[in-house]
Structure 1
Amino acid sequence: MRVGLYPGTFDPVTLGHMDIIRRATVLVDKLVIGVAINRDKGPLFSLEERVAMIEAECATLSEETGTEIVAHPFENLLINCAHDVGAQIIIRGLRAVADFEYEFQMVGMNRALDREVETVFLMAEARHQAIASKLVKEICRLEGDVSKFVTPRVNEALLARLRS
């Protein structure tokens, strides 16, 4: 069984994330969405809320694709998380060239820690490349419309959190 790990903070999960998740299901039999705790980023949504969002957004996709998709919170090293969930592949999404330098360094470090775990980069579709959770939160906070960047369910959660 090919197991992939797609890590991120997903605060909140965007259509860009969902694009990468959908495309990753073609590569693996089981896709683990590693929801990073990452206290340094000061997430808008709690870990439990982010995991619940991922589970809700991926339920139908899992049925459609036949790929098992599970959310897995983690706070340890990414490579250790890969070991914990039995992943042979780490999936990373790239939005722009600016992402590549950081991701390139990360791959090098992960390869030094474990040469058996491969990293695969997926480019977001052009219409999703500019979407970043940080920008989505800022636009919503300033009363802009983020409905074209997130699903209706996530949009409602953002509005409830930021405009209450």
Structure 2
Amino acid sequence: MTTALYPGSFDPMTRGHLDVLVQALNVASKIVVAIGIHPGKAPMFTFDERAEMITASLHEVLPESSGAVSVVAFDKLVVDAARDNDASILIRGLRDGTDLDYEMQMSGMNRQMAPDIQTVFLPAGTASRPITATLVRQIAAMGGDVSAFVPAAVLKALNDRLKR
């Protein structure tokens, strides 16, 4: 049984995140979605809210796979989080060349620290390439329609948070 760690902030979960998560299920039999917790950052959603949105979003598209995915928090190096969760693979989504440049640097550093953990890059689908959680938060906060960018559970959470 191969376990992969898919780290990120997921604040909130986007269709791009979901696309990569679904692809990751073809790479490993178990996926641990690791939500990074940074004391200096104030996320829009709590860890529990993000975990619930991730679980609900996956259930929306692949209800039979929800048992293969768990959600954890981490506040350390991603390679340490991978080891803590018995993951031998790191999943990283790529939208464009800018992501690739950054992720290649991170992959190289992670490889130096943990040569036993392999990074796997998964390309975002064409429809989800321009989507970022930051842009989703900004558009939603300004009253824009983000329904094309987020799963239904996330849209509901955003609307509830922003009182629409």
Whether TM-score is above 0.5 comes out as: yes
TM-score calculated relative to the size of structure 2: 0.93
SS of 2:147's partner is coil
Q: Residue deviations 1:33-61, cap 9 Å, x none?
A: 01111233321001111112112222355
CA distance in 2, matches of 1:57, 1:19: 11
CA distance in 2, matches of 1:46, 1:69: 19
Whether 1:53 and 2:53 are equivalent positions in the alignment is yes
Deviation at 1:63, TM superposition (A): 4.0
Unaligned runs of 5+ in 1: none
Amino acid of the structure 2 residue aligned with 1:74: F
* Residue of structure 2 equivalent to 1:139: 139
Q: Residue deviations 1:125-152, cap 9 Å, x none?
A: 0110000000001001111100000112
Identity of aligned residues (%): 40
* 1:62–1:68 Cα contact (<8 Å) kept: no
* Residue of structure 2 equivalent to 1:112: 112
Whether 1:151 and 2:126 are equivalent positions in the alignment is no
- Could you say which structure has the greater relative contact order, defined with CA pairs below 8 angstroms and 6 or more residues apart? 2
TM-score calculated relative to the size of structure 1: 0.93
* Residue of structure 1 equivalent to 2:28: 28
* 1:28–1:67 Cα contact (<8 Å) kept: no
* Residue of structure 2 equivalent to 1:80: 80
Give the aligned CA root-mean-square deviation in angstroms.
1.6
* 2:58–2:66 Cα contact (<8 Å) kept: no
Further displaced range: 151-160 or 38-47: 38-47
* 1:9–1:38 Cα contact (<8 Å) kept: no
Deviation at 1:6, TM superposition (A): 0.5
Amino acid of the structure 2 residue aligned with 1:88: S
* 1:15–1:128 Cα contact (<8 Å) kept: yes
Deviation at 1:66, TM superposition (A): 7.7
CA distance in 1, matches of 2:96, 2:67: 27
Aligned length: 164
